[in-house]
Structures are given as C-alpha cells and as structure tokens.
Chain A
Amino acid sequence: MLGKGVGGGSGSKAPKPSFVSYVRPEEIHTNEKEVAEKEVTLHLLPGEQLLCEASTVLKCIQDDSGQHGICGKLVCTDFKIAFLGEESTLDDNEPQFKNKVIGENDITLHCVDQIYGVFDEKKKPLFGQLKKYPEKLIIHCKDLRVFHFCLRYTKEEEVKRIVSGIIHHTQAPKLLKRLFLFSYATAKQNSTATGPPHQTVMFDTIKDWHWELERTKGNIKYKAVNANEDYKVCEKLPAYFVVPVSLPEEDILCFQGRGIPIWCWSCHNGCALLKMSAFPKEQDESNLQIQKAFLDGIYKTIHNPPYETLKTEDLSNSFISLQEIQTSYSKFKQLFLIDNSSEFWDTDVKWFSLLENSNWLDIIRRCLKKAIEVIECLEVQNTNVLLIEENASDLCCIISSLVQVMMDPYCRTRFGFQSLIQKEWIMGGHCFLDRCNHLRQNDKEEVPVFLLFLDCVWQLVQQYPPAFEFTETYLTVLSDSLYIPIFSTFFFNSPYQKDANVHQRQLSLPLNPNKSSPKRGFFETDHLIKNLLGKRISKLINSSDELHDNFREFYDNWHSKIVDYHGLLLPHIEGPEIKVWAQRCLRWIPEAQILGGGPVAIMNKVLEMMEEVQSLQKKIDEKHNSLMTPPLDGLSLLRKPARLSSLFPFALLQRHSSKPVLPTNSWKTLGDEEDLAKQEDEFVDLGDL
C-alpha cells in the first residue's frame, strides 16, 4: 500500500501502520501508477455528471505543514465536490454513522461556504477569474467542515481546471432550473417507488388543514379556504390556508393576501396565534387611506365575539433584524471554522468573550423570550396574538413555530415536528432559496433563519430531553439536509415556486418567478403598521413595563413548579442556560474529541436500561397473559463494551486501533436516525412528475 510506514515529513517517530498514508513529495511521482490502480470509483447519483477532476491531490489533515495527508483525486460534479482517497477502500473502517448520500469526503456544491487559496503561505479568498492558481485550496462548508487540499503535486492544467471549475460551480450565480434537484428528479423518474404512507402532514391539501383545525379545536372560529387554489390570488401564499370564519372571502382577494390575518395554531383555551403580512411602504396618500380602511375593517371583524381580544406583535419593528442575525452568525461560525488547530488553542482563553461578542446566543435568547411573551398572552391573558411582519415568512416562522413547540406536545414528536416545519416554514413561504443563498444570486439575502430556529429548539431539547421524541442528532442531521439538493423541501422560496417548477419542468420557466413582489433591500422596518392601527388596537400595544412584569411573573411562576413534559414547556433563558450547540459546531474538530466520554456514555447506559426494562416488561406481560407468545428476537441490543467518543456519531476520523465497535443495530434503536436520509424522502414530491 502506498506510503505505508513511510515516515511523515516531520520525521519524529515512525508512525504505526494505519490507513493514513504519509507521503513525501518526492515519492508521489514514483508511486503515481499505483495510485491510479488503487483509485476508488466515483459513485454518481442518477443524473449526476462529472465536470472536472484532478489527480494527485493531497487532502491535508488538520495540519498546516501540508505534509500529512492522503493522496487521491479531487473531482467536481454538478452535485458535489468529492475527494477520492484510498482510505475508503478499507471496508472494515465503516463509520457508525453515515449519510447515505453524502460521504465523508463529499461536499455538495450548496454546502460550500467560502473558498480560500493559499499563495506563498498567504490565505486569500477566491472568486471570479483567477490570474494565478493557488498551491492549496481551503474549503469552508456551511455545515462547519473545513477541507484542505494541497495542489502542489498536481499537474498545472489540472489545477487550473479544477480550481476554476469549483469556483465557478459554487460561487457564480445560478439559475433556478440549473439546480441539481431537477436533473436528479428527471433521471430518477422511472424508478419512483411510492414509499410508506406519509406520517408527516404536508399541508398541501385542504384536508390536511381541516385535520389540523380539528386537532387544535380551532374549527369553530376558523375555516380553511381554497381561494388561492392554483395561486390565483397570491404567489406568496400556499394554495390552502386558514382564516377567521367571519372574514369575507373577497377581503382575501383585495391585496394579494396582505393585511389578512392567517391562522397558525389554536391554544387549548380557544385563543389563536395568527400572522399577517404587512403592507409594503406606500407613498401614495390615497392608497394609504384605502389600506387603513381595510385594516380597520379587518380588526373590527376579528375583535367581535366569538374572537378574543387581540394583541399585535410587530416583528419587523420591535425585534431582531435579519441583518443582525446575519452578522451575528457570520461571527459565530468563524469560531468553529478553524484552518489549523493552533488557531483553536489561541482562541481558548478568550473563548467566552468571543462567543459573547458574536451575539448569537443572545439572539437565541431573545427569540425564546419573545416566544414566551407570546405564550403568556395566549395562556394567561386569553388574548389572540397577531404576528406582523413584512412577508410573514422569517421571524414570524421562528416565533410561531417556537410557540407551538413549547405549547403543543404533538410538535415535540418527530412527525409532529416535521409537520410543523411543513406548515410554518414550507407552506408559510419561508424563502429557503434566498435565505440559504442556494443560487448565489444575492449574498445579502443569505440569513440563517431556519438554523436559528433549530438552534432555539436545540436549547429546549437539551434543557428537557425527555419532553422530545427526537434527539439533538436529529436536529443536526436536519440542519445538514438544508444543503443536500436532492430533496425539494428546502430549495424553494414558496410553495408556488415549487409547484410551478416541479410540475412544469418541461415548460419554459418564467425568469425569477419569485420576484413578483420585488424586495426592497433588507426589510426596512414598516412604520405603516403603527399608523394604521386603530385607537383600540394601539391601546393594546403594551407599555413595555407592564409587559415585563407580566412576563417575569409568568416565567418565575412556571419555573417554580415541577415540569410536566407533556404540557407547556418554557425554556430557561438566563445567562448560563443558553449554550452552544456543541454537537453541530464541534463535531469536525478532532481536538474536541473526548474518547470514552461525552453524552453518548450516558446514552449507552440508558439503552442498556431500556433493554432491561423492555425485557422485564415482556416477562410481566407473558406472566400476565399466561399464554406463551412466540419469543421475539427483537431484544438483540448487543453492545460490546466500547469506548465511544464524545463526537459520536459524527467522529469519522477514527483511528484503527481505537475504532468503536458499536454494532449498527443498536444504533437503529436510538430512533432510526440513521435512516433519516431515507425518511427525508418523504418530503420530496418528485413522484408527482
């Protein structure tokens, strides 16, 4: 095997045999043939095309000297950038957790965050046309991985091709129809096997909305309407949605869905959470008057019985701005995107102040706090709450989903959570395409709103693990699937856009269908709302003192009681309680690995005890029934004593000798996270093609 046993560049000690090769520059060329023979074949998905490749690339392993690494081939397809090294030939080195689509050395094009080149030891960001080609490529990924590819031993023309290829396909603006999603769907078309029946409610039929209304007992005061079927009224709204019963249908048509209260969820006491997209800023006085009159009418309707009093929460004015979220996250992620380990050591001492400086945790705290405030209104004051935002599709989604996760135990099951995302985010028209910047058309629109939501949920999960059916690993994997372009779920700006593109694939697409309501920069705050509110309403916009007292009382009161995991759940939001989502952020950093430690050690014990509980339960059942059922062989949670590491299940860089030996079948019992990729397929509607 190549380079086995050859001393590394630093040459301090003879390395033990392992799957990592230690290659000296001078040996590369003599061994080149051997490399070619040993090469792994590239696995392409249906519809995936190879664009360019380069051989004898060194993948460096967390080390800036560039001399430790694996030799292999770097390829770029229209789906991913992949490195084919020889390590993957070792079949006994199967990691316990493996994404079925994305391998250890695969980066989907949408997952690439920033690319740097190293020229003469200097690191520069790469974009556009290059005059000079770097000797080393550093790729920062959106899931916080960092790859170093050394191109020093690669042929010059190959370097040119691969570098410009990668830069072009990841950085240049793209058209929607060029998304890999479509080529995959086309190629996969004939093999559409309808999977198991959906347990996730998709909210793409009126029946789903009826079901949800019934579940929350909101069906007396609210009705599902089909006014927007075929997107006649508005391209921003879903085909079906729910409005107050007394709202006349023609009102919906008036302003393309703006200014009407749309139902999100009903509380057990009948109070409802509503949302409304605000009117765009209007210069024309007469239009203003019309809008004002319209809103007054609306408020009158929903203020009469049977509706509770209404409280409005203007998220564009009095809350975090998207700009803030963007700046904060870009600072936050830098803490984990480290090029070499020495950087990490340097920041250690200042860790907490750097973290605080990024403001990310504070933004999470403010979101959670806002959600608690809303819950206080719904739960204690028995008022309806109306969330207002320009498009009702960013902060609205966060707050309304958080409220539901905290109040509705159904949303804490896996399918309930998926249904919630489907309802509030997908049907709610969150602009995933823009917010994730999948098309690289406008960097300014890139705001990790959904990630912020997941992080808020993570805080809840880690504070009350027993209240949730899913684990943090589920959330981590979910956050990763934002960047895998074979699922249509997170790749459109609105249900309209998705339907238009998925159904009329063969037809010529209108350019920029999503720009029907041109965005005006960065959500300038909408001062109109305040002006337009009637007197009665403005009274309800609370004096902040009173609000604070109510909040404090509610919060303290709840926390002084014993937690009911199946009821209302309020997170702790004090300084020490909001934490870093360590699993997601630290999983690729080998220095952060604690061998034999971390939460997985507890998890192991829990599994063991669950097993015991189950077997006892079974014995009891048997005795009770006193008729012998055929023995089940399901209790085969055989676990060898293994030292798992704290990075489980993401530690892929396992060394041979310390490789954990957790068999995969026990992993499955953790809730089938491994199959998540498969289950995600349920989101994909490509079968409709």
Chain B
Amino acid sequence: MWWGGRGRSFNIPPQKEPEMGSMQVSRMDEPRSPQTSSCPALRCLPGERVLAWAPGVRRGLEPELPGTLMCTNLRVLFCPQGWQARQDSVLNSDYDFSLSNIGRLEAVNGPGRPQILRPGSLLKFIPDEILIHGRDFRLLRVGFGDGGLEPLAFRVAMAIVQAREQNSPAQHYEGMILSKACCGLGSREPPVPLLETPEDWEAERRRQGARGWRVSTVNERFDVSTSLPRYFWVPRRTLDSEVRKAFSHFHQGRGPRLSWHHPGGSDLLRSSGFYEASDPNREDIRAVELLLQAGHSDIVLVDAVDELPTLADIQLAHLRLRALCLPDATVAEEKWLSALEGTRWLDHVRSCLRKASDISVLVTSRVRSVVLQEQSDRDLNGLLSSLVQLLSDPGARTLHGLQTIVQREWVASGHPFLTRLGGSGGSEEAPVFLLFLDCLWQLLHQFPSEFEFSEFFLLALHDSVRVPDTPTFLRDTPWERGKQNGQFSSYTQVYTPGSPQAPPVGDLVPRPLTVWDWSLRYSHQQILQFYNPCYEPHHSDSCSSREQPTSVAPGPPRSIFLFSRGTLTPLNQLCPWRDGFSSLMSSSRWLPRHNTSSDSLADQEWGLPPHWGASPLPPGLLLPGFLGPQIRLWRRCYLRGRPEVQRGLSAPTISGLLDELALLQGLLRTWSSRSSTSDHTKTKDPDTPPTPSR
C-alpha cells in the first residue's frame, strides 16, 4: 500500500496506538497537576528541562493525532500519545523543532487574525491553536481542546516565546556535548570517516588513487589557518615549509590543496583568493606555482564566484522562497509561477548546476589541474567541488559517498555553518548548504536511477542542519569543532557535568556523535527509506585510466587558462604578484558571456559540432539539464507546510511493485521451506505483510 504521506517527510503509515485508552484515562484523572503527571513519557536529553506542556491535537493532516505539546530549554516538540514507548530513537524527526529552527510562531483564537509571537511579545489571549513554522519549511499545528486545560495552552505558548528569547548558540553547544553522553549506540567506528585523523586522510587519498599527493600535517595546531582542517593533501614533492610559506599569501591562509583526484588523472583543487597585499619573494612564488600546478602542465583557474549568486542573493532568494511557501501565502494560483520565478531561487540553482557541469567537463576531458578559486574558499568552492564530484564520480553517488563528500568538502573544509544558517545572529546568513542540497535534488530528479540515496535522505540532511545534537553542523570552523569536542586536551576536559553516566573508560574518549549517526533521530523504518529503490549500481567502472606519470619533472606549465563566463581565456602567468599582471578578479569579471549559443563547453572540449550537446560522454559523467523547464521546485521539501499541495511524489508504482515483489518472495520462501504436505494452505495469505527484502 502506498501511503500518500501528505505533509510528512516520510511515507510511513501512521501506526495504531494500542495504549490509547490508558493514556486517555491517566490524563483525565489529574488534568490539573501538571508538574507531577507531566509528560512522563519524554525521554529528555541530558541537561534538558521541560519548561511547560499542554495536551493538544496535531491538526492539519488526517488523521488528527492526540498528544502533548512540550517546550523544553532546547526544543519544542509534540509527543503523540504513546509515542515514546515505541520509539527506538531519542528524537522524533517529525515533530521536533529545535528552538533555532522556529521561523515563526502564531497563536490563533477563534476566527480572528492570528497573533504572531515574537521574542518578547506577550500573548493577549488563550490560544485555540498554535502554529509553528519551521525555518526548514515544516509546519506544526497543534490545537487545544477545552476542558479546563486552557491555562496550560497559554503557559506553553509563553514558554516557547521565552525559550526562544533566551536561546543562544552557547546553549546549542551545551546541548550537543551533553548529548554525547546518551550514546547507547553500539559502534565506536563513526559511520563516515570524520577526517579528523591523518589516517582518515591517508585512507581517503589511497581510495581516490591520488598517487602524486601526500597528507600534510602542517596545520596540525591550526596555526596556518583555523578554518582549514588539521590535515590536508598537498603535492608529494612539496615540503611542509614550502606549504606554510605559500599558504601565507592566500586569504585566511587557505592555499591550494587537493579536493578530489579524478580517476582519469586530473586533479580538482580549491583555494582562496591571492592575498594581493603581500609581497612574496621569488621562492614563494615558485612554491605557490608548484602547488597550483600540482604536477600538471595544463592548468585552469576557475573563478568560482563568476556567474554565481552572491551570498546576499542566496539569502534573499531563500527568504522569498520561504515566504512564498508559507501555507497562507497570498499568491493567486495563476500567479504562482511568476511568484516562484520572482524568488530567483531556481535561477540560482540553475547557475550552480551549469557551472558545476562545465567544471566537470574540464576535469574529465583532459588531464589537468583545475583550481577552484573563491575569495574565502569556504562557500561556493565547497558547493562547486561537491557537485563536480557527484557529476563525475559514480562512487560519490552512493549514500556513503555523499556523506563523505559533505564531511570533507563542507564540514572539514570549514564551511561556516553557524554563521550561514543564522545561528550566530550576524548578518552573514546565507543558506549555501541548502542551495547545494537543492542542486543535488535536481540531479536526483533528473537522473533517478543514478543515486543510491533517495529524496528522503536529502530531506533528512536538510532537516539536520539546525538540530543541535551533534557537532557536525552549527560550527564555523574545524578548530571550534575540535575545541568543543575536547580533541586537543581531551584528558583535562570535563565533558558531562550534568550527566550521571558514562565517564570515559580509561583514556578512551567516546567518539563524538555526528549527524551521520542517523539512528539517533530516525527510526529503522525511516532509515530504510534513505535508499533509492531505482538505484542501478554502476556496471562498469572502466573509467579510462589515462593516468599521467606523475613523476614528470614539473617544468614550467605549458598552458594556463582562466575559466570565466563559460570560456577559457589564456593567462600569461599564474600569480598576480609579478609584473604587469592585470588583476585576475577585476579584468575578466564583468565581461559578458561570449557565446550565447549552445556551444556548450562539452562540445568545445571534445571537438564536437555544437548541435548535439550530449555526445559520447565518458562513462560515469552526468551532464544535467538546466533549461528553464528542467529546473523544478523541490516540493516535498518546500511545500511540506501545505498539506493541500503535498502528496506522495516518488514513483508510487515502484514502491507498489517492491511490496508485491517482497510478498511474492516471502511466499516462495515459505513454500520452499515447507514440505509439500501443507500444500492447501498456500494461497490463503495474500494479506501477509511483506517482509522487507531490501
């Protein structure tokens, strides 16, 4: 049976509640003594205190669910009756709103206008209903019945207002550290290499087959740059002292380093902008050039900002999109499309995909070193390099591959998650990571059988960025993350002031939980849905191995190009500090795109006539479509708050078939195991629930 899953992120059927009756009774018994009987079911996180609660009914979706709305010092959550007893995860992904995730809080009383509750505002009436609009596009509607419980509803609403007021990043940290204590999870191995040890980096380097590279420990104490990871890859021939010197001529010390090694031989590098005020000597320049050249004679510098939206653009578009997707958005149906266009969000998605697709062609078509250069190297570089890897590497399209990429290109590379998601209250908020997830969804939508993960996984990732229970997101730099984890001085740090259990055994530090420990927040059933039923694992990984002998003496580079506006422009030197260099950023930035026609880069690169873009592609390379009609709205994410719009979207036929398949296989299994004597009972059980076979 296909469950439409309207309004929820997962299509798992609502389960019947066995203990309904008993719960009802206990609630009816002593409705006015909240403190004693209150939310006995809530399994608090360590350090979490319930501030207020009120029995209510989850509205807006069928069927309405009775339960309890609770406000704690960390989150607001709705507990359906009897939910805790059944749940195998601590947090409930469907009805949990971390305080920082609450975008708008509304209280409704009768038919009048809802009151929007901002921090500091005072509720003027006893609410019938509370609406919580999540910044992740979720919506929670809780209605309160009468029966003498109105004061509780009032109290919980005010508690939420106050909790939001007092909410601060510091509190996240507390919450996160504490949550470590409750890890009753078996494995000590993190599910995804966290890239916090040199071993992880070395293993990853081997996996990619990057033979010309080594792991540098020059930043082990974060003295080259606090935003860089402790370890990274540099060319094998470069000394750490050279690296240190060269990196000082880049913004924030984020010099060129390997991001990904293409099996065909090319290298994808990322680096921040040249620090133009510095005055390097000849040796330093030589070191910088060697790092950029990475043993190749063909170098392409990619201006990562060019043609992409600025951070302010992204933030504005996202705000507009959120306003448009609110359930009560007053956009007429026939004006919906132009309103959507007006947000420009899809336009930004398109430009990212287009650029990433161009870069993956550059990486694939020849053996060369492609350097992504962004002034800060912490936002769009991560987005582009992740997308390029997903487009050109079938291995990156698995669940594990994607998590590794996010961990490496975003988390370890110092994407300022906290600032960008508005956690630090600064003005530099810009959901670059969410833009990346949208691009990824477009790819998944266009190539439904190429990715091992499903839309649900992307949604889970989307919803995780603001959940303050792991140190993965909500930190700005690896340095901060490490500091909070007590990685540097783990012996002296006291972790768990409020936690009764689990002091570290001996000197073995319990591994910090990461967002990749999905079982923390998602049930087994939900995690099964992370897998895409349409996925076709790649048949032949016969990526033509054009491995260039990396031992070639690094002479002067034969060709240097700047990739900008969709074309390659020759440069006469790599670094801006030598004589007569007309600054990279200023000269080419505002040139119009040369070829307006469809002479796509793929055609130029492979020498094909321009009329047929999709031509003999190397196996494994995906070239996404980015025409107007091909970029879609991620409705399952953005329109989640509008139950009337939402409905099951991932091919219902497939899941139906899967069920049937499982049923038949189950039948077959029972038969073959059974002896032939019990023949006559066979056909009776078409209603047997299918056993999950995958």
Q: Which residues of A contact B (CB under 8 A)?
A: 8, 10, 12-16, 20, 22, 61-64, 68, 340-342, 344-353, 355-357, 359, 361-362, 365, 463, 465-466, 556, 559-563, 572-577, 580, 582, 585-586, 589-599, 601-602, 604-606, 609-610, 612-613, 616-617, 619-620, 623-624, 626, 641, 645-646, 653, 655, 657-658
CB distance from A550 to the nearest CB of B (A): 17
How far apart are the CA atoms of A580 and B615 in the complex, in Å?
A: 27
Contact of B333 among A563, A573, A605, A626 (CB under 8 A): A573
B65 at the interface (CB under 8 A from A): no
Q: Are B607 and A16 in contact (CB under 8 A)?
A: yes
B635 at the interface (CB under 8 A from A): yes
Q: Are B335 and A590 in contact (CB under 8 A)?
A: no
Q: Are B607 and A13 in contact (CB under 8 A)?
A: yes
- Per-position binary interface string of chain B over residues 651-694, scored 1 when its CB falls under 8 Å from any chain A CB and 0 otherwise: 11110111011001101100100000001001100000000000
Q: Are B653 and A466 in contact (CB under 8 A)?
A: yes
Q: Are B639 and A12 in contact (CB under 8 A)?
A: no
B340 at the interface (CB under 8 A from A): yes
How far apart are the CA atoms of A582 and B623 in the complex, in Å?
A: 19
How far apart are the CA atoms of A2 and B25 in the complex, in Å?
A: 89
Residues of B within 8 A of A15 (CB): 607-609
Q: Are A348 and B628 in contact (CB under 8 A)?
A: yes
How far apart are the CA atoms of A353 and B539 in the complex, in Å?
A: 42
Residues of B within 8 A of A641 (CB): 536, 539
How far apart are the CA atoms of A623 and B534 in the complex, in Å?
A: 30
Q: Are B607 and A602 in contact (CB under 8 A)?
A: no
**Chain A residue with the shortest CB-CB distance to B652:** A466
Residues of B within 8 A of A8 (CB): 609
Q: Are B333 and A345 in contact (CB under 8 A)?
A: no
Q: Are A657 and B615 in contact (CB under 8 A)?
A: yes
Question: Which one of B137-145, B291-299, B444-452 is at the interface?
Answer: B444-452
**Chain B residue with the shortest CB-CB distance to A14:** B607
Residues of B within 8 A of A559 (CB): 6, 644, 647
Contact of B668 among A466, A598, A620 (CB under 8 A): A620
How far apart are the CA atoms of A99 and B499 in the complex, in Å?
A: 73
B587 at the interface (CB under 8 A from A): no
- Per-position binary interface string of chain B over residues 325-364, scored 1 when its CB falls under 8 Å from any chain A CB and 0 otherwise: 0000001111111101100001100100000000000000
- Tell me the B582-622 residues at the A interface (CB within 8 Å): 596-598, 604, 606-617, 622
Q: Are B661 and A613 in contact (CB under 8 A)?
A: yes
Q: Are B341 and A576 in contact (CB under 8 A)?
A: no
B627 at the interface (CB under 8 A from A): yes
- Give 20 pairs: A residue, B residue, CB < 8 Å, sorted on A: A12-B604, A342-B597, A347-B628, A348-B628, A351-B629, A356-B334, A356-B335, A362-B334, A559-B647, A563-B4, A594-B447, A596-B450, A597-B450, A601-B450, A602-B449, A605-B533, A610-B657, A613-B657, A620-B664, A620-B668
How far apart are the CA atoms of A561 and B629 in the complex, in Å?
A: 31
Residues of B within 8 A of A610 (CB): 657
Residues of B within 8 A of A355 (CB): 337
Q: Are A346 and B596 in contact (CB under 8 A)?
A: yes
Q: Are B657 and A609 in contact (CB under 8 A)?
A: yes
10 cross-chain pairs, A with B, having the tightest CB-CB distances, nearest first? A575-B336, A351-B628, A13-B607, A352-B341, A341-B598, A657-B616, A597-B447, A601-B449, A616-B664, A595-B614
How far apart are the CA atoms of A465 and B536 in the complex, in Å?
A: 22
How many interface residues does B have (CB within 8 Å)?
A: 76
B423 at the interface (CB under 8 A from A): no
CB distance from B633 to the nearest CB of A (A): 6
Q: Are A592 and B337 in contact (CB under 8 A)?
A: no
Residues of B within 8 A of A349 (CB): 347, 628
Majority SS of interface residues in chain B? loop
Q: Are A592 and B612 in contact (CB under 8 A)?
A: no
Q: Which residues of B contact A (CB under 8 A)?
A: 3-4, 6, 61-62, 331-338, 340-341, 346-347, 350, 446-450, 533-534, 536, 539, 596-598, 604, 606-617, 622-625, 627-630, 633, 635, 639, 642-645, 647, 651-654, 656-658, 660-661, 664-665, 667-668, 671, 679, 682-683
Residues of B within 8 A of A12 (CB): 604, 607
Residues of B within 8 A of A586 (CB): 629
CB distance from A6 to the nearest CB of B (A): 12
How far apart are the CA atoms of A619 and B668 in the complex, in Å?
A: 8
How far apart are the CA atoms of A593 and B611 in the complex, in Å?
A: 12
How far apart are the CA atoms of A231 and B534 in the complex, in Å?
A: 56
CB distance from A5 to the nearest CB of B (A): 12
Q: Are B617 and A595 in contact (CB under 8 A)?
A: yes
Residues of B within 8 A of A556 (CB): 644
Q: Are A601 and B448 in contact (CB under 8 A)?
A: yes
Residues of B within 8 A of A604 (CB): 449, 536
Contact of B448 among A14, A22, A597 (CB under 8 A): A597
Contact of B338 among A342, A352, A599, A620 (CB under 8 A): A352
Residues of A within 8 A of B629 (CB): 351, 580, 582, 585-586, 592
Residues of A within 8 A of B651 (CB): 465, 602, 606
Q: Are B654 and A602 in contact (CB under 8 A)?
A: yes
Residues of B within 8 A of A606 (CB): 651, 653-654, 657
How far apart are the CA atoms of A626 and B651 in the complex, in Å?
A: 36
| Residue with the highest number of chain A CB atoms closer than 10 Å, among B645, B679, B682 | B645
Q: Are A609 and B661 in contact (CB under 8 A)?
A: yes
Q: Are A624 and B644 in contact (CB under 8 A)?
A: no
**Chain A residue with the shortest CB-CB distance to B605:** A13
How far apart are the CA atoms of A585 and B668 in the complex, in Å?
A: 45
Q: Are B645 and A591 in contact (CB under 8 A)?
A: no
CB distance from A293 to the nearest CB of B (A): 42
CB distance from B451 to the nearest CB of A (A): 11
Q: Are B331 and A597 in contact (CB under 8 A)?
A: no
Given A602-B654, A605-B449, A616:B337 Cβ within 8 A: no
How far apart are the CA atoms of A355 and B340 in the complex, in Å?
A: 12
Beyond A63-B609, A349-B347, 6 additional contacts (C-beta under 8 Å) are A14-B607, A574-B336, A591-B613, A595-B623, A609-B654, A609-B661
How far apart are the CA atoms of A597 and B391 in the complex, in Å?
A: 12
CB distance from A644 to the nearest CB of B (A): 10
How far apart are the CA atoms of A414 and B429 in the complex, in Å?
A: 53
Residues of A within 8 A of B610 (CB): 10, 63, 68
CB distance from A200 to the nearest CB of B (A): 26
Residues of A within 8 A of B3 (CB): 562
Contact of B644 among A20, A574, A582, A619 (CB under 8 A): A574
Given A22-B609, A356-B335, A645:B614 Cβ within 8 A: yes
Q: Are B335 and A572 in contact (CB under 8 A)?
A: no
Q: Are B446 and A594 in contact (CB under 8 A)?
A: yes
Contact of A616 among B336, B615, B668 (CB under 8 A): B668
Q: Are A576 and B645 in contact (CB under 8 A)?
A: yes
